[in-house]
């Protein structure tokens, strides 16, 4: 059926992939913006570098101080912002698609706070490694997801009710996290509080590599779930009539969304509002009727990198990236709450 939108179809090995031209152009523009901003972030700092020095260091043409600055100090932070931002964008996209509500965000409905609680227990009690942090954050987020689902279930789960319950659970978990920090040793409490603001200050190549592999696998699973997600946006009955197994598809969406949030939280702490804003901006850029994963991932990566650049180089003093995302996303959340309330009146 022709809806008047130009598309390109790639066929290979009996597999056909359909792209809309506008989405391809938007994604290409977002990638170009990411490359430019990443280059600016690698150049900027107390020791200024030229574009030629940055490129030479990245391809192995520099040694000594320039190489250390670019490859060992600045590049892990830039790579983490891009990878983690993409993960948060996709996490928000699949949850908003499943619940058919623009307010669906892992931070708002408690998943981020639950993963933070799990990771915080690992930090303060076990003093575990990054892999243990991922496990603790994943268990905390999954336990929170189950609790929110059970509390919101009344003759089925409606998206708006789940969000309201999630906000209450998130507030309770935030109080629990504060109590855990107050009970900890002073040194551990200060480190946990700084990490809890959402920061890329201590991210290393090891964390980027481990987190990147986990996120790559989860993004592949999200891509595999994209078709059932599109069909479920039309309603459960319609999706079931088209052969979609609703229960298994919804479980897969929740697990992937929670896992993406947990991996990011374990490395950098809860970075707020990227999951809320990125899918909506991506949808408006491509003018799509529903949530699209690729634009959401690219917008999330660009927003996270831009917020980190503002936190490090524009703010009067260096700040955690989570503070900037809260400032930028809080206004957008207020706008969504206002419009959602008006729509339901």
**Residue 37 counted as domain residue:** no
**Residue 65 counted as domain residue:** no
pLDDT band per the 50, 70, 90 thresholds, residue 21: confident
**Residue 117 counted as domain residue:** yes
- Distance (Å, rounded) from C-alpha 31 to C-alpha 37? 10
Q: Which of 8-12, 19-23, 51-55, 146-150 has the lowest mean pLDDT?
A: 8-12
**Residue 14 counted as domain residue:** no
Does residue 159 register a pLDDT over 90? no
Domain CATH code at residue 241: 1.10.3470.10
Total domains present in the chain: 1
**Residue 158 counted as domain residue:** yes
**Residue 15 counted as domain residue:** no
Span 285-309, pLDDT tens digits? 988 777 789 999 999 999 999 999 9
Q: How far is CA 117 from the centre of its chain?
A: 18
**What range does the domain containing 156 cover?**
80-344
Q: What is the pLDDT of residue 8?
A: 59
**Residue 196 counted as domain residue:** yes
**Residue 179 counted as domain residue:** yes
Q: Say which residue, 273 or 337, is predicted with more confidence.
A: 273
pLDDT band per the 50, 70, 90 thresholds, residue 2: very low
């Amino acid at each position: 059926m022709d809806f008047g939108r130009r598309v390109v179809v790639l066929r290979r090995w009996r597999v056909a992939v359909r792209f809309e031209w506008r989405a391809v152009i938007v994604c290409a523009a977002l990638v170009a913006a990411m490359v430019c901003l990443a280059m600016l972030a690698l150049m900027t700092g107390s020791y200024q570098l030229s574009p030629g020095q940055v490129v030479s260091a990245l391809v192995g043409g520099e040694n000594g101080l320039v190489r250390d600055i670019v490859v060992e100090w600045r590049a892990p932070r830039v790579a983490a912002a891009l990878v983690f931002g993409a993960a948060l964008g996709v996490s928000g996209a699949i949850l908003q698609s499943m619940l058919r509500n623009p307010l669906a965000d892992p931070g708002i409905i408690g998943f981020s706070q639950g993963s933070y609680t799990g990771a915080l227990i690992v930090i303060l009690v076990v003093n575990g490694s990054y892999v243990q942090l991922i496990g603790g954050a994943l268990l905390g987020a999954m336990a929170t997801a189950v609790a929110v689902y059970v509390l919101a279930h009344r003759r089925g789960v409606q998206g708006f009710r789940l969000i309201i319950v999630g906000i209450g659970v998130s507030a309770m978990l935030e109080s629990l996290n504060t109590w855990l920090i107050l009970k900890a040793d002073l040194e551990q409490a200060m480190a946990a509080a700084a990490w809890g603001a959402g920061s890329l200050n201590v991210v290393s190549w090891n964390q980027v590599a481990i987190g990147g592999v986990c996120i790559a696998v989860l993004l592949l699973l999200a891509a595999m779930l994209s078709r059932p997600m599109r069909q479920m946006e039309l309603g459960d009955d319609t999706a079931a009539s088209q052969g979609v197994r609703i229960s298994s598809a919804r479980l897969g969406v929740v697990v992937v969304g929670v896992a993406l949030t947990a991996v990011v939280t374990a490395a950098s702490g809860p970075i707020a509002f990227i999951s809320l804003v990125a899918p909506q901006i991506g949808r408006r850029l491509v003018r799509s009727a529903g949530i699209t994963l690729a634009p959401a991932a690219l917008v999330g990566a660009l927003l996270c990198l831009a917020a980190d650049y503002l936190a490090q180089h524009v703010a009067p003093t260096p700040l955690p990236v989570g503070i900037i995302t809260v400032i930028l996303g809080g206004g957008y959340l207020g706008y969504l709450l206002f419009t959602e309330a008006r729509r339901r009146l």
